[in-house]
Amino acid sequence: MRGSKALRYAAPVLVAAATGIALAAGPAAAVPIGQSVNGKMTYYTDQGYGACGTPIDANSQDLVAVPAAWWTSANPNNDQLCQGISVEVSYNGRTIRVPVRDKCPSCDRTHIDLSRTAFQKLAPLDRGVVNGITWKFVR
């Protein structure tokens, strides 16, 4: 009897581990439209397809990759972030608005990764990492 009881409780954990489902994490947080976040920005230069399933060129297009923590769908192509959501970024008296087109798996909840062209509108590229920005999700 003990073996079967242990297996009954272990099976869901094994299935979750095999499929990549987090049991204790709960649902992802909803995107807080209009809520300001203080954080940092970096830039990237990827080309190909972004997390929204559309072609991107972070060298020539203004766009943003947002932290993985804000994505709420197992299929990022269907995520609410890919449905007309942009990020408004303010730094040093300048503000830009860039569409969400990609996911930043290494970014924490307050860190955004801008395309090279978008980053240059706010700071010189040689800065690399800029702390003290304010950003928010907008429609």
User: Rounded mean pLDDT of 112-121?
Assistant: 98
Nearest one of 134, 109, 135, 107 to 43, comparing CA atoms: 107
Domains along the sequence of the chain with CATH: 31-138 (2.40.40.10)
Q: In the prediction, which pLDDT does 74 show?
A: 86
- Residue whose entry in the numeric block shows the structure tokens 């995520």: 79
Sequence-ordered list of residues with C-beta below 8 angstroms from that of 13, at least 6 positions apart, any chain:
23
Look at residues 89, 110, 109 and name the one whose alpha carbon lies nearest to residue 99: 89
23, containing H or E segment: none
Instruction: Note the pTM of the prediction, 2 decimals.
Output: 0.79
Instruction: Kindly tell me the number of DSSP H helices and DSSP E strands found in the chain.
Output: 2, 8
Distance of CA 26 to the CA centre of its chain: 18
pLDDT exceeding 70 applies to what percent of the chain? 79
| Average pLDDT of the chain, as a whole number | 84
Higher pLDDT, 77 or 67: 67
pLDDT band at 29 (very low <50, low <70, confident <90, very high): low
pLDDT at 41: 98
Compute the half-sphere exposure of residue 87: CA atoms within 13 Å on the CB side of its CA: 32
The residues facing 94 across adjacent strands are: 91
Instruction: Give percent above pLDDT 90 in the chain.
Output: 73
